[in-house]
Amino acid sequence: MVPALRQRARRCEDAERLLPETAQEFIDAGFFRIVQPRRYGGFEFGLDVLEEVVIEVGRGCGSSAWTLAILGGHSWWTALFPEEGQDEIFGEDGHVIMATNLSGNGRCRRLPGGYELSGRFVYLSGCDVANWLCVGAMLEDEGHADPPWFYMAIRPEEATILDDWHMLGLRGTGSKSVVVEKAFVPERRALPQALVQAQETPGRYVHPNPLYATPMLAFLSIETTGAAVGIALQAVEALEELALNKPVRRREAEAGASGFQASVPSFRRHLAEAKSKAEAARTILLNEARRLMATMREYAPAGRKMAPEEMAEYGLNCARLVDLCVQAVDHALAAGGTSSTFDGHPLERCFRDIRTLSTHNVYRMDLMAERWAQARFQEAARP
Amino acid sequence: MTAAGAGGVAIGFDAAGRRVLTHPEAATITAEALLERARAMVPVLRERAPRCEAARQLLPETVADFERAGFFRICQPRRFGGFELGLDALEAVLIEVGRGCASSAWTLGILAGHAWWAAQFPEPGQEEIFGEDGVARLPTGIFGRGGRARRVEGGYELSGRWAYQSGCDAANWYGCGALLETEDGGQPEGITFIVRAADGYVEDDWHVLGMRGTGSKTVVVERAFVPERRAIFLKDVEAAETPGSKVHANPLYGIPLMAFISVEVTGAAVGCALQAAEALDELGRTKPVRARSGGGGETAARQMSLPGFRRRLAESKTLAETAKTLLLREAERVMDLGRETKAAGRKFTREEVAEITLRQARIIDLSVRAVDEAFAAAGTSATVTGHPIERCLRDVHMMSTHRVLSMDQAAETWGLAHYGL
Instruction: Check residues A326 and A263 and name the one with the higher pLDDT.
Output: A326
CB pairs under 8 A between A and B: 121
Contact present, B197 and B174 (Cβ < 8 Å)? yes
Are residues A369 and B383, on separate chains, in Cβ contact within 8 Å? Answer: no
Enumerate residues 6+ apart whose C-beta is below 8 A from A87: none
For B173, list phi and psi in degrees, rounded to 5.
-140, 160
pLDDT at B144: 65
- Taking contacts as CB-CB distances below 8 angstroms, the residues of chain A near B365 are none
CB count within 10 Å of CB B387 equals 18
Q: Do B297 and A105 touch (CB under 8 A)?
A: yes
Q: How far is A115 from chain B (nearest CA, A)?
A: 16
CA nearest neighbour of A42 among A73, A7, A64: A73
Tell me: pLDDT of A101 over 90: yes
Tell whether B358 lies on the interface with A, counting CB pairs under 8 A.
no
Mean pLDDT of A158-182: 97
CB contact under 8 A, B385 and A166: yes
Is the ipTM beyond the 0.90 threshold?
A: no
Kindly tell me if the per-residue pLDDT of A325 is higher than 60.
yes
Report CB contact under 8 Å: B296, A365. no
Helix (H), strand (E), coil (C) string for A282-344: HHHHHHHHHHHHHHHHHHHHHCCCCCHHHHHHHHHHHHHHHHHHHHHHHHHHHHHCHHHHECC
Mean residue pLDDT of chain A comes to 95
SS3 A22: helix
DSSP code string of B89-125: HHHHHHHHHHHH-HHHHHHHHHHHHHHHHHTTS-HHH
Residue A44 · residue A30 · CB < 8 Å: no
With vertex at residue B129, the alpha carbon angle to CA B126 and CA B132, rounded to the nearest 5 degrees, is: 100
Rounded to a whole number of angstroms, the distance from the CA of B377 to the nearest CA of chain A is 8
Chain B residues lying within 8 Å of A351, measured CB to CB? 209, 397
The mean pLDDT of A172-181, rounded to a whole number, is 97
Hey, what amino acid is at A292?
L
Cβ separation A250–B143 shorter than 8 A: yes
What is the pairing mode between strands B173-180 and B140-141?
A: parallel
| CB burial of residue A113 (10 Å; 0-12, 13-18, 19+) | exposed
Taking an 8 Å cut-off on Cβ atoms, the answer to whether B311 and A342 are in contact is no
Whether B409 and chain A come into contact, CB under 8 Å, resolves to yes
Q: Given A252, A270, A338, which is nearest B164 (Cβ)?
A: A338
pLDDT tens digits, A332-373:
999 999 999 999 999 999 999 999 999 999 999 999 999 999
Q: Distance (Å, rounded) from C-alpha A145 to C-alpha A157?
A: 33
Residues of B in contact with A255 (CB under 8 A): 412-413, 416
Q: Are B45 and B101 in contact (CB under 8 A)?
A: yes
| For residue A382, pLDDT beyond 70 | no
Chain B residues whose CB is inside 8 A of the A264 CB are 408
Residue A222 in this model has a pLDDT that exceeds 60 = yes
Gap from A341 CA to chain B (nearest CA, Å): 5
Q: Give the whole-angstrom CA distance, residue B44 versus residue B31.
A: 21
Q: What is the pLDDT of residue B224?
A: 97
CA distance B134 to B72: 10
Q: Is B294 left (phi over 0), alpha (psi -120 to 50) or beta?
A: left
Contact between chains at A341 and B379 (C-beta distance less than 8 A): no
Coil/strand/helix, residue B393: helix
Q: Which residues of chain B have pLDDT under 50?
A: 1-6, 294
**B254: number of CA atoms within 13 Å, CB side?**
20
B309 lies within 8 A of chain A by CB: yes
Q: Which residues contact B110 (CB under 8 A, 6 or more apart)?
A: B139, B140, B166, B167, B214, B264, B265
Spatial separation of the C-alpha atoms in residues B90 and A269, rounded to whole Å: 35
Q: Is the pLDDT of residue A257 over 90?
A: no
Interface of B with A in 375-394 (CB under 8 A): 375-380, 382-385, 390, 393-394
- Give this prediction's pTM: 0.92
Interface contact A355-B296, CB threshold 8 A: no
Contact B408 A267 (CB under 8 A): yes
Q: Which residues of A touch B192 (CB under 8 A)?
A: none
CA distance B421 to B415: 8
Residues 42-81 of chain B whose Cβ lies under 8 A from any Cβ of chain A: none
DSSP for A205-272, please give it: HH--SGGGGS-HHHHHHHHTHHHHHHHHHHHHHHHHHHHHHSBPPHHHHHTT--SBGGG-HHHHHHHH
Which residues have a Cβ under 8 Å from the Cβ of B129 and sit 6 or more positions away? Answer: B118, B121, B136, B138, B173, B194, B230
Mean pLDDT to the nearest integer, A139-168 = 93
A105 chain-B contacts, CB cut-off 8 A: 297
DSSP symbols for A171-200: GGG--EEEEEEEEEEEGGGEEEHHHHHTT-
Chain B residues lying within 8 Å of A359, measured CB to CB = 375-376, 378-380, 382-383
Of the pLDDT bands very low, low, confident and very high (cuts 50, 70, 90), residue A249 is: confident
How many C-beta atoms lie closer than 10 Å to residue A69's C-beta?
29
**Nearest neighbour of A338 by CB, restricted to B296, B378, B401:** B401
